[in-house]
Structures are given as C-alpha cells and as structure tokens.
Chains A and B, each alone.
Chain A
Amino acid sequence: MDPPKVLLEATFLDAVVDPEHPRHDDCVAAYRELVGQYELEQVLLVAVSDHLRAIDHPHGLTTGEKVKWFLHRPRVGLFAPVDPLYVGAQHRRAAAATKVDDPTVALTLVMCSRYGVRRVATLHEAYEAFDLDLLPLPVA
C-alpha cells in the first residue's frame, strides 16, 4: 500500500551534504529528483537512523538530545522528507551475525531486509553484490 521506499545510504548522504565530495553534484541532482518523486508520493525516502542522525548532528549529541531525536526527529533542513529507520538492538545483533566485513554495510543490509526496502541510493560498491535495485547516478 505504501509507495516504494528508497533508502539513502550513508555514502550517498555524505556526498549530498559535503560540497567537497567528488560526487556531490551527481548526488545532489539525484536527491533533487527523489525529492520531486517524494512530493508526488511516488516514493518514500528512508535512511538508517544511525546514519541520518550523524548527518543531522555532525558534532554529536548529548544524551538528552539523542533521546529527543529518538522520540521524534525534527523534520527540518536538507533531509526533512527522509524517515529514519530506527535501529534496535536486534538489528545490531543481526548485523554482527552477518558475514559482511563492513559494519555500516551490514547494518544497512539488515535494515533493508527487515523493513522491506528494495531500492538503495549509494556510492558504495558493496551493495552491487546483492539483490537490490541501485539508483544509477550520473557519471561525474
């Protein structure tokens, strides 16, 4: 019933926010298009909560702010349309039990599996090995 979810992976989020990133312009163009699709309710934009929180608050959070963010993420700024997929202890355990070396990739794969996400916007090559629809980005 819901529109398909598109997961914005950590590398994609980093590239969108960092103007010095070599793929910044490509990712911004792709994100702009995704936001347009979101506005028309053609897609839902999601991100792993750990990754999104690090982008929302690059300088870290106090415990109180973390709790506040956990309870209700303010929908402002660049990633206002993005819904966090909240990571629970069971997801971390599952990620640790995978045979994937990169913990960020492992956690993202677990979240994709548990939340039924099939589409991923990423710059990380590791995801090409799995049965996911990867968002093609313009070549820089």
Chain B
Amino acid sequence: MSTATDAPTFVPPSSRPGLGTVVPYEWFRPVRITLMWTYLVGYLLWLKYRGLTVDRVSVAIAVGIFLICAFVGRTWRTWGVLLVDCIAYCTMWVAYEKTRGAADDGVSFFGLFRVKFPLQVETFRNVDRVLFFGHDPNVVLQDHFWERTVRWYDVVAGTTYMTHFVFPMIVMAVLWATSHRQWTRFIKRFATLLGVACFLFVVMPTVPPWMAGDSDWGYNLFHELHRNAGRGFYHIGFESFRDGYKLALSNGNGVAAMPSLHASFALIVPAFFLPWIRPKWLKAVVLLFPVVMLASLVYLAEHWVIDGLVGWAITGGVFWFWNRMERRGRRTKAHRARMALP
C-alpha cells in the first residue's frame, strides 16, 4: 500500500503483468464478436436484397437474433435478465400498438362504457398558422418543393423519415449488448415517452395534414397534399422497402398524430448520447437530425409543426424527470451508506 493521502486517488499500474496472464482467456468473446459482425453483414445483405424490416414483429425478431449473437457464452443469470428485459420490451410495444389503435375508437372501460375524445381537425392547424403568420407550412413546402421527379431533398426527407422504424431499436440493441445500465437508462426514457404519447393519442386524436387536405376524408382544409413519404428512399434503390412500409402503416392509426413520435425518436437518441459528445460543433451536428426530421415530416405532410414541437417538449420533459429520479436514487443510496457509517 502507498503512503497516506487525504482523498483516495489511484495508483497507476507500472509494468506489472496484465490480468490476461493469470485469468484464462474467455473463448466466447471472439465467438460473440464474430457472430455480431456476421449478423451485421447479414443485416446489410438483407437490407440490400429484401428491404428494411420496419414492422414491429420483424424488427423484434431482428433485435432478438442480434441479442442471441451478443449474449452467447454469458452466464445463466445474464440470460435470465435478458429474458425479463425482452418480456418488458415486447409488452411495451404491444401496449403501445393497442393504445395507439384506440386513438379514434376511444377507451373502453371493462366493456361497460366507452369514452371517446373529439377528433381535433383544425386546432393544431390553427396553431401552425399562428406560428407561421397565417401560412400552412405543409402547403407552403409542398407547393414550393414537390415535383413529379424525385429531387435530392426527397431522398433526404424520405431516408430521414424511414430511420424512425429502426434507428432507436438499433441503439437499444447495441446498448443491450454493451451496457445493461445504459440500456436501462435509455429504455426508461423511451417507455415513458411512449406512454405519454399514447395517452395524448387517445385524448387528442388529431387529423394530420395529409388527411386534412384529402378530399376522400372530406375535411378540405386546403388543397390535396402529396403523401408518399418513402418515395425518396425507394428512389435510391430500396424498392422492396415498400411492402414492409405499408405493413407498418397498416398497424398504425391515422389520427394518432399528436405528438409526433417521429420527431421524438429523432431527438431521444441524440439527446441520450449528448453528454458523451465533447466537441460543441459535433453536438450541433447531432442535434440537426431531429430538425431535419421535423422539416421532413412537415414537407411530407405527415405532421403539423406543432406535433413535432410537442414531441420534442415531451422528450425534454422525460429526460428532466428521469435525470432527477436517477440523481435522487444515487443520493438515497449514498445517504443510506453514510447513515450506516460510524
């Protein structure tokens, strides 16, 4: 042991032998790494030849296969924890899908009575008009930029839009494999965001811009808007994405539009990693992603601007809440330890 110090600092290792010289090599480690790289290659090949898996079930299967690769050779307890995590993860998505489906049907209380909330047709459109001095951002963007041919910004918008279906799930899978603590932190924020969003979907079913201008629906708030969010994405060679994309939409609910989860998911991932990003310019670049997402959503007539802003506000609130709760948890444990110390 070294000499006295007031506060513990750590003695750096000198030229002492590493643990690898005494601890047997963990042969499952290279197996896991090889499997994960193989999975990545397989995923990219699938992406190229079969398309992006965007429906919940396919994504869950893809995540499951990755986790098996990442957890090969781990302890039984670790597998048990993973199983519990997976059950919670699937429950979260099923609850989300079911609740979202109730956005236009209302909520049934044990089959006795049903509470149905009024459909918001003009409310958020009017908020947008106030924010943009009497203009409809969706209409203005489409009138200025939408062309019959696909332009570069259609590719950007379509690709950004499609990342929603896989980006947060990829982050979750990687966190699952690398740090269970960080996965837990992320999933708490993510699940809370989904919960709040589902609550608002039910109490504030909202007509999105594409529906507001669609003559088939009869709202006719403005002229009909183009709705083909994926066309820019298909244009760069991912034609087979279309099937999966339609399948994903078929599980959705047209009026589950407030808040925008596209905008929220696009913010939650950069916001989660922001503390580890040091250069300010890189932070700014990373935070451009949710801005591009919201601009894409408005241009593609998927959401009102206010949908995205509320989505961001909820994401910010979720981070504030959980940061506070986690700090409080650490304080409580530290307090308990200090109380037990002599």
A-to-B contact residues, CB < 8 Å: 1-2, 19, 28, 30-36, 38-39, 41, 44, 70, 75-81, 86, 88-91, 94, 97-100, 106, 109-110, 112-114, 119, 121, 123, 128-139
Contact = CB atoms under 8 A, between A and B. Distances in A.
Interface string B7-24: 111111100111110111
A33 B7 contact: yes
Contacts, number: 130
B179 A134 contact: no
A88 B16 CA distance: 28
Interface residues of B, number: 43
B10 A137 contact: no
Given A130-B17, A136-B10, A78 B330 contact: no
B75 interface: yes
Contacts of B78: 88
Given A36-B334, A139-B1, A88 B7 contact: no
B77 A35 contact: no
A30 B8 contact: yes
B334 A38 contact: yes
A41 B330 contact: yes
B276 interface: yes
Contact of B19 (A36, A112, A138): A112
Contact of A94 (B7, B24, B330): B24
Contact of A70 (B73, B77, B332): B77
Interface of B: 1-13, 16-20, 22-24, 26, 73, 75-78, 178-179, 181-182, 276, 330-334, 336-338, 340-342
Nearest to B22: A98
Contacts of A86: 75, 77
Contacts of B333: 38, 75, 80-81
Return the 8 tightest CB-CB contacts between A and B, nearest first. Answer: A88-B75, A78-B340, A136-B2, A133-B10, A39-B334, A80-B336, A80-B333, A113-B23
Given A77-B336, A130-B22, A32 B77 contact: no
Nearest to B178: A1
23 contacts: A1-B182, A1-B276, A2-B182, A30-B8, A35-B338, A36-B334, A77-B336, A80-B333, A86-B75, A88-B76, A89-B75, A90-B75, A91-B75, A98-B24, A99-B22, A109-B19, A109-B22, A130-B13, A131-B17, A133-B10, A134-B1, A136-B1, A136-B10
Most buried by B among A19, A39, A100: A39
B132 to A, nearest CB: 39
A2 B179 contact: yes
B4 to A, nearest CB: 4
B20 A78 contact: no
Contact of B10 (A90, A99, A131, A134): A134
A15 B319 CA distance: 39
Contacts of A90: 73, 75
B3 A136 contact: yes
Contacts of B19: 109, 112-113, 130-132
A74 to B, nearest CB: 10
A55 B342 CA distance: 16
Contacts of A139: 1, 3-4
